[in-house]
Amino acid sequence: MATSNMPQIGQIVRVNRGRESGSYAVIIGVVDQRYVWIADGGKRKSDAPKKKNVIHLELLPAISSEVADSITTTGRVTNGKLRFALTKYADHESAKAQEKGE
């Protein structure tokens, strides 16, 4: 699990400010404590990530090991892996919500 104040590569985030607010993305690079590079593999591709201020993001406790491993070994990640990580997270959250509702 990630700490709430330090962004990590592969961490799932929710965008709270800007044009893409309400959408989810994955951190694919950390500039410093304040800025990160995010991509979602769909609208925002991994070869053209968005530099985002951390205070405009909600850092979620989920970290995609597939994305983190790919970036640490090859230095890059495919858009398919980013989409897979976000879909897996969304499926996990919806299953958790259904359990809570029953």
In the chain, the number of structural domains is: 1
Where residue 96 falls among pLDDT bands split at 50, 70, 90? confident
The CATH code of the domain that includes 46 is 2.30.30.140
Extract the tokens encoding 26.
């994955």
Q: pLDDT exceeding 70 applies to what percent of the chain?
A: 94
2 located within any domain: no
pLDDT at 4 over 60: no
Determine phi and psi for 99, rounding to 5 degrees. -60, -40
Q: Are 40 and 27 in contact (CB under 8 A)?
A: no
Does the pLDDT value for residue 99 go beyond 50? yes
Q: Alpha-carbon distance 32 to 30, whole Å?
A: 6
Q: Global pTM?
A: 0.90
Predicted pLDDT at 1: 45
Q: Answer whether residue 40 is part of any domain.
A: yes
Specify the pLDDT at position 2. 44
What value does the mean pLDDT take over residues 77-81? 96
Write out the DSSP string of the chain.
---SSS--TTEEEEE-SSTTTT-EEEEEEE-SSSEEEEE-SSSS-TTSPEEEEGGGEEEEEEE-HHHHHHHHHHS---HHHHHHHHHHHHHHHHHHHHHHH-
CA 90 vs. chain centroid, Å, equals 12
Domain extent, residue 33, equals 11-101
The letter for the amino acid at 57 is L
The answer as to whether 3 is a domain residue is no
pLDDT digits (tens, 9 = 90+) for 61-76: 999 999 999 999 999 9
* Residue 28 placed within a domain: yes
> What pLDDT sits at residue 102?
60
Terminal-to-terminal C-alpha distance of the chain: 26
